[in-house]
Structure 1
């Protein structure tokens, strides 16, 4: 970045850092101690829907890679489309298999990136719940290389628990790279596991 970029207020985009996903298991320990949330075993990668033979080949490769894991205790990996036109590749594990779930999410993101579909990647998430039935997702923004918490309010339609999100942000500040711009904490209504 040059002097002209600084003077004109231009910033260099953040490079995706998929290795940030590997911090989720240790963050889960902190999250349980601080707020009582435990992993559900569900995670997903969201991307803009892509059509064509190249994407279908990438999807088949990712599906075969993840389905080859014989240690999977949940249903097979599945592709879902949401009401907003995005696709979700969903992986289900037992709640104790968060490290394996993170490996799944990393593998999907990496395969998409390597095959030229990095620009279509939006986010990845891991779902959590507490004893009271509240749900929470730790969402990794691919293009920002940072996480944020998303907590939908149960039974309230499309409303979120902002106080809980800020509590989780403070609790995980030392465990995860947290997105500081709250306007980028996009709601992921209808995301798998929520």
Structure 2
């Protein structure tokens, strides 16, 4: 069973609206003022790679996509693979709204180029606490969940639940906490 199956289940779900990601802009006030957390200026789009036969076509389209996104935004976009064979499109922008817009643009372009089923998550990093906070947006379910790594391969469940309570009025939060998957060793 691959990481994608572990993260998002084998069952096919209805397509979610990637537009829900824009709720993060309104959640910024709560994050900054109430919780003392600020965007690190870094986010990423995580997707699973194509099959071997589609790889060459996909590789060319992916490079074109990165060039288009780079021309249309002030954000910096780079690409990185991980040890599990998944691809990360890393977005850097100090303007929070531009960061959200570029992440949405990257995901929309991936979907329009036939990669929609490969989209797994968008991850936004926030600093200001003892540990970084990651708000993870699962494309398959159309909802966010908080992730706070603690130590090497542990997480701070209590703080994550506290964040859920504080953010669920502003963000579509995944209600099934068994689906709050951890993503350790994030490249952002």
- Whether the 8 Å CA contact 1:42–1:92 is kept in 2: the answer is yes
Unaligned runs of 5+ in 2: 1-10
Pick from 130, 135, 139 the counterpart of residue 136 of structure 2: 139
Q: Deviations over 1:91-126 (max 9, x none)?
A: 1111xx111111111111111111111111110011
What value does the CA root-mean-square deviation take over the aligned residues? 1.8
TM-score by length of structure 2 reads 0.86
SS at 1:85 equivalent? coil
Worse-matched range after superposition: 76-85 or 161-170: 76-85
Q: Deviations over 1:17-66 (max 9, x none)?
A: 11111111211211122321110000100001225233123312321122
SS at 1:138 equivalent? strand
TM-score by length of structure 1 reads 0.84
**Which residue in 2 is equivalent to 1:5?**
none
Q: What stretches of structure 1 move > 4 A for 4+ residues in a row?
A: none
Unaligned runs of 5+ in 1: 1-10
SS at 2:114 equivalent? coil
Pick from 111, 114, 117 the counterpart of residue 112 of structure 2: 114
Q: Quickly say closer, same or farther: Cα 1:85–1:164, change in 2 above 3 A.
A: same
**Which residue in 1 is equivalent to 2:82?**
82
| Structure 2 residue 118 is the aligned partner of structure 1 residue 123 | no
How many residues align structurally?
A: 175
Pick from 84, 97, 100 the counterpart of residue 99 of structure 1: 97
SS at 1:117 equivalent? helix
- Whether the 8 Å CA contact 2:73–2:102 is kept in 1: the answer is no
| Structure 2 residue 156 is the aligned partner of structure 1 residue 161 | yes
**Which residue in 2 is equivalent to 1:3?**
none
Worse-matched range after superposition: 33-42 or 140-149: 33-42
- Whether the 8 Å CA contact 1:58–1:111 is kept in 2: the answer is no
- Whether the 8 Å CA contact 2:48–2:85 is kept in 1: the answer is yes
Larger Rg: 1
**Which residue in 1 is equivalent to 2:30?**
30
